[in-house]
């Protein structure tokens, strides 16, 4: 039994608990995984929109170049260089100030336009950029040189050398979602310009820790100190961004194809430029109910928003991607419309999975307990059967030995005293009766087990059956020194029953009263009508013996069960007498029950339904 329990614990219970523990642990990672999944999805949105904006700017840059070429071819390069500010502002809507630079010598340039007389805007422009465009001073600029090929853009790095960096390095969609350690996420994010994930949801503390700081410390968009000539190099056109008094200034420039000494440029009106980008700030239709997309300027202020009525802490987007060198430190950012949605979804999933895990563990526990209990029962039954065989063998052997011994004495005429002869004959008769009873019990039991026990129901008087049975049994009991008192109610107790089967019950109960009398040899039999909600006929057999041990009051009716073990009590038995008694009584619509007798001993009651006329 212990072995089975150990196997069960090792093979079933321990692995199931380990699995449950693993499942509970993985539940804890659910929220992170879900948010990671979401961030990857939305990261793709911001990457695409950032790319679209870069493409739009490149397209506008090309339009500007075409406009420059057209003005120069119509009016001549020199005329255009003098009038460029006026003309470009009239012909191209995004121009705020137009400028033209005449390149002379390898490291000199002259700003030919605008002139200070052109107005306050031109004057401010000249103050801000005159030195730089005249190649007289170096300034910090962000550079996007369109003349370089492919999807690579060139920025000047800190030491003034050229350095190619990928314009937008997208988050790798194939990165396993389980790459959830802080360092993995950091490395992964640090690869590109994507700035993920500034969580909006309150419960997103773990992810918040690993996100880069909201000020964009992971930005790859860095300015470089450069002179104008070195800055444009051999390029044909490009964009140039500067921060002046903390304000972004974006310029397009183009080198004239017919005369490469002329470079024309324009400072862009950012408000008009942003207005032109608004149509790009829209997520795919299926995501519109989930997220709001915004272009954030370098101070994390929204300049274009997909949902005009949406308000949030703009500095804390769910994910964001830098647009690039054209609009340095500007970002496309995604905000969750309902930041608690993921937490709620995770909570629901966690609850369902938790409930399932709990149910499975309980089911395994209960199943295991049932299996062990059943095994226990089976083992106990197997033990009982073994005990039964040895008990029955013993019960057969004892009377057979006495019968043989006394019959041999009589057969060999070794007992001359007639009184002794009679006593021996009585013993032989009693032992034979005992044998017969035992064999009848065993046979009846096996018939009942097979469902073959037949009853011969007839109208009978229970008092009569009791009287006859007691009188048959009385000589044996009195011979054994018992005092037998029989108190039968007057009249009749009509029942419909198999009289022999009822007699068998009474004999079994009497025989038990005799066996478990424990030296106090007084047996009382009472029979009468029992009143109550359901009146019935009742026979009670009371003794002053050991009584049934506490806890075994019901079990004594189970087959093979013996509360008084033969070895310790020395009382022989098969554990079948009460089982049979109850089964017969129940087959008659009645029962046999045990009660503790007041003053010590047992009281067994046989109850049978009264026959109604
Ligand atoms: P057995 O052959 O062992 O007597 P029974 O089915 O007749 O089998 O009884 C089952 C058990 O009930 C007995 O082993 C005994 O422990 C208990 N028992 C039965 N009758 C009495 C009684 N009159 N007094 C005390 N214990 C009893």
pLDDT tens, 303-333?
999 998 999 999 999 999 999 888 988 999 9
Distant-in-sequence, close-in-space partners of 89: CB < 8 Å, separation ≥ 6: 95, 96, 97, 98
Ligand 1 centroid vs 494 CA: distance in angstroms?
29
Q: Which residues pair with 102 in a beta bridge?
A: 110, 262
Where does the pLDDT of residue 221 fall: very low under 50, low under 70, confident under 90, or very high at 90 and above?
A: confident
**Confidence (pLDDT) at 256:** 93
**Confidence (pLDDT) at 402:** 86
Ligand 1 centroid vs 562 CA: distance in angstroms?
6
- Model confidence pLDDT, tens digit, residues 362-376: 888 888 888 888 888
Instruction: Tell the residue number behind the tokens 């523990």, with chain if given.
Output: 21
**Confidence (pLDDT) at 1:** 62
Q: What percent of the chain has pLDDT over 90?
A: 44
Q: Can you give the three-state secondary structure of 140-191, one letter per residue?
A: EEEEECCCCCCCEEEEECCCCCEEEEECCCCCCCCCCCCCCCHHHHHHHHHC
pLDDT of residue 22 exceeding 90: no
- Model confidence pLDDT, tens digit, residues 262-290: 999 999 999 999 998 989 998 889 998 88
**Confidence (pLDDT) at 371:** 84
- Model confidence pLDDT, tens digit, residues 112-167: 889 888 888 899 999 999 999 988 888 888 876 544 433 333 233 333 332 332 33
Q: Which of 52-56, 200-204, 341-345, 451-455 has the lowest mean pLDDT?
A: 200-204
**Using a 6 Å CB cutoff, which residues line ligand 1?**
508, 512-513, 515-516, 543, 545-548, 556, 562-564, 573-579, 602
**Confidence (pLDDT) at 174:** 34
pLDDT of residue 218 exceeding 70: no
Average pLDDT of the chain is: 83
**Confidence (pLDDT) at 325:** 81
3-class secondary structure, 1: coil
Ligand 1 centroid vs 583 CA: distance in angstroms?
15
- Nearest residue (CA) to ligand 1, atom 16: 563
- Model confidence pLDDT, tens digit, residues 484-535: 999 999 999 999 999 999 999 999 999 999 999 988 899 999 999 999 888 9
- Nearest residue (CA) to ligand 1, atom 27: 548
Cβ atoms of 520 and 545 within 8 Å: the answer is yes
**Confidence (pLDDT) at 583:** 94
């Amino acid at each position: 039994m212990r072995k089975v329990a150990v196997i069960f614990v090792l093979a079933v219970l321990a692995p199931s608990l380990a699995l449950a523990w693993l499942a509970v642990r993985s539940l804890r990672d659910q929220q992170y995984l879900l948010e990671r999944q979401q961030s990857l999805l939305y990261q793709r949105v911001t990457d695409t929109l950032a790319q679209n904006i870069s493409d739009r700017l490149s397209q506008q840059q090309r339009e500007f170049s075409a406009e420059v070429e057209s003005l120069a071819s119509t009016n001549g390069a020199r005329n255009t260089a003098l009038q460029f500010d006026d003309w470009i502002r009239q012909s191209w809507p995004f121009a705020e100030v137009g400028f033209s630079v005449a390149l002379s010598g390898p490291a000199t340039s002259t700003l030919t336009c605008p002139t200070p007389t052109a107005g306050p805007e031109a004057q401010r422009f000249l103050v801000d950029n005159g030195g730089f465009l005249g190649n007289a001073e170096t300034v910090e600029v962000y550079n996007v040189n369109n003349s370089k090929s492919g999807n690579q853009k060139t920025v000047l790095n800190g030491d003034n050398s050229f350095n190619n960096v990928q314009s937008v390095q997208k988050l790798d969609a194939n990165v396993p979602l389980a790459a959830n350690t802080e360092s993995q996420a950091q490395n992964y994010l640090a690869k590109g310009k994507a700035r993920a994930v500034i969580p909006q949801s309150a419960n997103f503390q773990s992810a918040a820790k690993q996100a880069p700081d909201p000020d964009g410390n992971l930005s790859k968009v860095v300015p470089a100190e450069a002179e104008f000539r070195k800055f444009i190099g051999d390029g044909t056109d490009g964009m140039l961004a500067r921060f002046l008094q903390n304000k972004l200034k974006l310029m397009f420039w183009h080198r004239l194809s017919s005369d490469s000494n002329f470079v024309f440029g324009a400072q862009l009106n950012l408000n008009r430029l942003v207005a032109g980008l608004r149509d790009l700030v829209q997520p795919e239709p299926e995501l519109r109910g989930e997220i709001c997309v915004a272009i954030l300027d370098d101070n994390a202020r929204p300049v274009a928003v997909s949902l005009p009525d949406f308000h949030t802490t703009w500095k804390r987007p769910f994910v964001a991607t830098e647009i690039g060198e054209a609009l340095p430190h500007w970002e496309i950012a995604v905000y969750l419309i309902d930041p608690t949605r993921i937490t709620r979804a995770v909570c629901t999933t966690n609850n369902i999975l938790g409930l399932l895990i709990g149910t499975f563990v309980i089911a395994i526990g209960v199943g295991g307990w049932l299996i062990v209990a059943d095994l226990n029962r089976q083992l106990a039954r197997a033990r009982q059967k073994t005990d039964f065989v040895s008990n029955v063998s013993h019960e057969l052997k004892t009377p057979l030995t006495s019968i043989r011994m006394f019959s041999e004495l009589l057969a060999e005429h070794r007992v001359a005293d007639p009184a002794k002869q009679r006593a021996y004959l009585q013993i032989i008769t009693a032992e034979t009766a005992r044998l017969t009873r035992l064999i009848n019990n065993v046979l009846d039991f096996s018939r009942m087990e097979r469902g073959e026990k037949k009853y011969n129901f007839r109208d009978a008087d229970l008092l009569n059956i009791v009287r006859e049975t007691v009188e048959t049994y009385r000589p044996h009991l009195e011979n054994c020194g018992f005092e037998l008192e029989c108190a039968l109610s007057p009249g009749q107790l009509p029942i419909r029953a198999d009289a022999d089967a009822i007699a068998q019950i009474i004999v079994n109960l009497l025989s038990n009263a005799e066996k478990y009398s424990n030296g106090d040899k007084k047996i009382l039999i009472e029979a009468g009508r029992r009143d109550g909600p359901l009146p019935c006929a009742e026979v009670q057999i009371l003794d002053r013996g050991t009584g049934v041990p506490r806890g075994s009051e019901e079990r004594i009716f189970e087959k093979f069960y013996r509360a008084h073990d033969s070895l310790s009590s020395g009382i022989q038995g098969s554990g079948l007498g009460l089982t049979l008694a109850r089964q017969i009584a129940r087959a008659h619509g009645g029962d046999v029950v045990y009660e503790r007798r007041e003053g010590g001993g047992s009281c067994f009651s046989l109850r049978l339904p009264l026959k109604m006329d």
